[in-house]
Amino acid sequence: MSKAVVSTRIRLARNLKEYPFPIRLSADKAREIVDKVGEALKDSPLKFHRIDMDSIPDTIRVAMIERHLVSPDFISEKDGRAVYLSDDNTVSIMVNEEDHIRLQVMMDGFELDKAYALAEEVDNILSKKLNYAFHDRLGYLTQCPTNLGTGMRASVMLHLPALEMSGTVNRIGANLSKLGLTMRGLYGESTKPAGAFFQLSNQVTLGISEKAAIENLKNIANQLITQEMRVRDNLLKNIEAQDKIHRALGILKTAKLMDHSEAMKLLSLVRLGVCEKMLETLSADSIDKLIVEIQPASIMTRYGEDMSPRDRDIKRAQILTERFN
């Protein structure tokens, strides 16, 4: 069941009282905040590494997005922005993205409670040294009013190939906003869904506690998974669907050129086949890791920054044939 949930993410938005929000912040003041956050993190039992956005090449910045360590918005500006990463990359703290602090915890599988507990722990450590902007009535103050209150965005990455194939996903999406939830593509706002991976997250942050928002998200995620499984049962009896899944593995094993979107589509199908015990090949966990590995910038950071798209397609096909054979 949890195989339909690829990963879990908790994000907390926090700002410092004595500084204007990032939209009105000078680069000097921004750097001051980066230092203060680093200072506060020294009290944490976790070890953090600081990475200044202006000190690393473009490909690494993009590769960090592909690993969900930072957001696309974060790398659009380099000056005065830095990220603190914990040793195992579970916790990432973006400084001066849309808010002064975006604390993120990411875990594999369906682990909302565990991820929130860790986020809260780090948040408590930070709040001992940092003076958070907090309003008695509006809660944690954020640059965009959509995050007021708890400042918490909890999300689960779902793999819903059957609901996507049957076209049910869009209908469900329309109803989610009524429940205070939203569903997006793989890399958050304004991204197209790739390979039937969807991010389900809470939309409302004011007037609902962290615990209640998480429970709500859990319930809806479970309902979506139940529906997905029901549709899968029917779908997989269908010889056309079976054929598609087996062909997907065949192509991954033998292709010489593989662009990114085709790879995502095929990996999504093979992941479905593996979860439903139709295929005997890599595990779902290994496929999830492979999905990150074959992203464009991740290939470039590993195999050379001057690769053309065609070079990457060749490399990608190579990686995939090696793994699946």
SS (H, E, C) 140-196: ECCCCHHHCECCEEEEEEEECHHHHHCCHHHHHHHHHHHHCEEEECCCCCCCCCCCC
How many residues contact another protein, by CB under 8 A? 77
CB of 288 to another protein, least distance (A): 19
Distance CA 172, CA 112 (A): 22
Distance CA 26, CA 309 (A): 37
Contact map string, positions 266 to 305, toward another protein, x by CB under 8 A: -----------------------------xxx-xx-----
CB of 129 to another protein, least distance (A): 11
Nearer to another protein, 184 or 265 (CB): 184
The tokens of 68 are what?
A: 């969900």
Nearer to another protein, 109 or 173 (CB): 173
Distance CA 313, CA 310 (A): 5
Question: In the range 220-259, which residues lie near another protein by CB under 8 A?
Answer: none
Pairing outcome for strands 152-159 and 5-14 = antiparallel
CB of 188 to another protein, least distance (A): 9
CB of 31 to another protein, least distance (A): 18
Name the residue type at position 95: V
Q: Is 260 in the site for another protein (CB under 8 A)?
A: yes
The tokens of 97 are what?
A: 């993205």
Strands, DSSP E only, in 17-123?
Answer: 48-52, 82-86, 91-95, 101-108
Q: Is 36 in the site for another protein (CB under 8 A)?
A: no
Which residues are CB-contacts of 220 (< 8 A; sequence separation ≥ 6)?
A: 176, 179, 181, 200
The correct pick among 57, 250, 304, 309 for binding another protein (CB under 8 A) is: 309
> Cα-flanking dihedrals φ and ψ of residue 83, to 5°?
-125, 140
Segment lying near another protein (by CB under 8 A), choices 15-23, 237-245, 248-256, 316-324: 15-23
Instruction: Collapse the DSSP code of 128 into the 3-class scheme (helix H, G, I; strand E, B; otherwise coil) and give the result.
Output: helix
The tokens of 106 are what?
A: 């990411």
Nearer to another protein, 206 or 236 (CB): 206
Contact map string, positions 100 to 119, toward another protein, x by CB under 8 A: --------------------
Q: Is 265 in the site for another protein (CB under 8 A)?
A: no
Question: In the range 169-228, which residues lie near another protein by CB under 8 A?
Answer: 170, 173-174, 176-177, 180, 182-185, 187, 189-193, 203-212
